[in-house]
Amino acid sequence: MTSFILRSASPAKTKVDAVVVGVLAGEDGVSLADGAQDVASAYGRKLRPLLASLSIKGSLGETTRIPTAGAINAPVLVLVGLGRTPSTADLRRAAGAAARAVPNAATVALALPTPGAAEVRAVTEGWLLGGYRFTAYQRDTATPTDGPGEVVVLTPAARKQEVVDALARAEVVAQSVADCRTWVNTPPGDLTPPLFAEAVQAATAPLAKGRGKVLTVTVHDEVALAEMGCGGILGVGQGSDAPPRLVEITYAPKGLAKDAPHLALVGKGITFDSGGLTIKPATSMHEMKSDMAGAAAVVQATLAIARLGLPLKVSTFVPMAENMVSGNATRPGDVLRLYGGTTVEILNTDAEGRLVLGDALGRAVEVSPDLVVDVATLTGHMVLALGTQVAGVLGTEETVAQVLAAAEAAGEAMWPMPIPEEMKQRITSSKVADLAQHDWVRWGGGLFAAAFLREFTGGLPWAHLDIAGPAFASGGPSGHVTSGGTGFAVATLVNLADALVAS
Ligand code: BES
Ligand code: ZN
Ligand code: MN
């Protein structure tokens, strides 16, 4: 466990294993960023030639370690590039890259440009998330995995209450993002729907019992799902030996005002997506262990909101199923009856997310929330449209705008996408059921999926986040985003809850 301390002290005099400073790129060479003045003056005129001979460019996330040989109190100086005019999001990325540059330091001081609460939050989140590693399935390695025991965040605003609060909040959010990543990274055989439901129960347990109880958790098993009429979750899950689940969580803090906002969250929890009979190609099928990233995000966001004690009500719905091939798997041509009675003709068993979400959205609207937000690794179409870093946001106008604003503040890239009128015709094109789950027109498949989901939102304010691209990073780490599960959307959802409380 890393503990964070705020201090307004000189980075040159701070006794730690490593000091991190920012490097700005500029017209006439690089310079040290705000927060590093004392380090710059300790080096004096030697600094410029040193930076030049190391060919440091100051590009965002570039890291260089130099032994200080007594120039400052710490033995190692870490230079991290900030680009030309760093935004708060850039600071988060840079801090993340810096965390990986000194995996062995026991104590670190961050002397980055952190004039206020937003920057302290970004640097803390960035550091914690950039240093995240998933080692549960590896032999013990020589490097410690827990990061430094102590991180000193140097800031002139160390004594301001809002900065103290920002740090505490950043630690809570980063913990939830990290735990979300771990669930996504866990091998799918070890996180089947029953095991995932148990993991959610274990994670929520401390807040779901005793005097401090703020969470209520219900796990519906396959028998309960049949009684409830959740034909989507059951249909998708019926090809797997591991039965499906629906987990429902309510967060209601003590003494909540009657008119407090009520947010409903829904997350796609396909613990593995083989595609079913409409089977996927082999090459990247293993990455479909990440098809429960939406579920992991909404649960972890709910946990963070609860740990922060935010004054609103949150109702969270997590349908969990494994989409597999077997003699009992759903066939193309089958008709499922979703929660509430809508019938759906299956035309592609790989379009399974919308089926489990249809049931869960149907449950969500019944608790009469002020707004519903669903998060899902829903379509490859959205990845084609927006790439792997950006999520698509679709839904009702105001809710989409609220989500985009929350994402901006969280440093998560999201972009609005439309649900054009033609989609209504396409989703009602089945000759045998109320809705067609799919058509074989490729164009606009991500918008079709959102139009399908909209049928289950009961006309409530709603946003759908298609995180198929950014939920999982196939390549190496970049900034605070590490390889594998990214924890995408957790920070945005916490910000959204915050914004709802403030408005
Ligand atoms: N889980 C996938 C979507 C996905 C694709 C997530 C790539 C992450 C990366 C989803 O269940 C799926 O298979 N969608 C189909 C929908 C199609 C059949 C309409 C797809 O995108 O091809
Ligand atoms: Zn899927
Ligand atoms: Mn699929």
- DSSP labels for 370-427? SEEEEEE---HHHHHHH-SS-EEEEE-HHHHHHHHHHHHHHT--EEE----THHHHHH
pTM given for the model: 0.98
Average pLDDT of the residues in 4-18: 98
Q: Which CATH number does the domain 175-502 belong to among 3.50.50.60, 3.40.630.10, 3.90.1170.50, 3.60.21.10?
A: 3.40.630.10
Please, which pLDDT band fits residue 144 given cuts at 50, 70 and 90? low
Please tell me the predicted confidence (pLDDT) of residue 142.
54
**pLDDT number for residue 146:** 73
Instruction: Single out the catalytic residue among 57, 65, 280, 337.
Output: 280
Query: What pLDDT score does 28 carry?
Result: 87
Select which of 100, 133, 313, 354 is catalytic: 354
**Taking a C-beta distance cutoff of 8 angstroms, is the pair 200, 297 a contact?**
no
Q: Quick check: 143 pLDDT over 70?
A: no
Domain ranges of the chain: 3-155, 175-502
280 is catalytic: yes
Which atom belonging to ligand 1 lies closest to the Cα atom of 448? 19
> What is the pLDDT, as a whole number, of residue 124?
98
Residues framing ligand 1 (Cβ under 6 A) = 273, 291, 348, 350-353, 377-381, 383, 438, 445, 468
Closest Cα to atom 7, ligand 1: which residue? Answer: 380
pLDDT value of residue 141: 64
Please tell me the predicted confidence (pLDDT) of residue 145. 61
Q: What is the pLDDT of residues 213-243, one digit of tens each?
A: 999 999 999 999 999 999 999 999 999 999 9
pLDDT band at 91 (very low <50, low <70, confident <90, very high): very high
Q: In angstroms, how far apart are the furthest CA atoms of the chain?
A: 80
Mean pLDDT within 384-408: 98
Model pLDDT for residues 468-502, shown as the tens digit of each residue: 999 999 999 999 999 999 999 999 999 999 999 99
| pLDDT tens digits for range 417-461 | 999 999 999 999 999 999 999 999 999 999 999 999 999 999 999
Q: Is the pLDDT reported for residue 75 higher than 90?
A: yes
Average per-residue pLDDT for the chain:
97
Give the separation between CA 110 and CA 262, rounded to whole angstroms.
38
Q: Which CATH superfamily is domain 3-155 in?
A: Leucine Aminopeptidase, subunit E, domain 1 (3.40.220.10)
Atom of ligand 1 nearest to the CA of 278: 18
Task: Respond yes or no: is residue 354 known to be catalytic.
Answer: yes
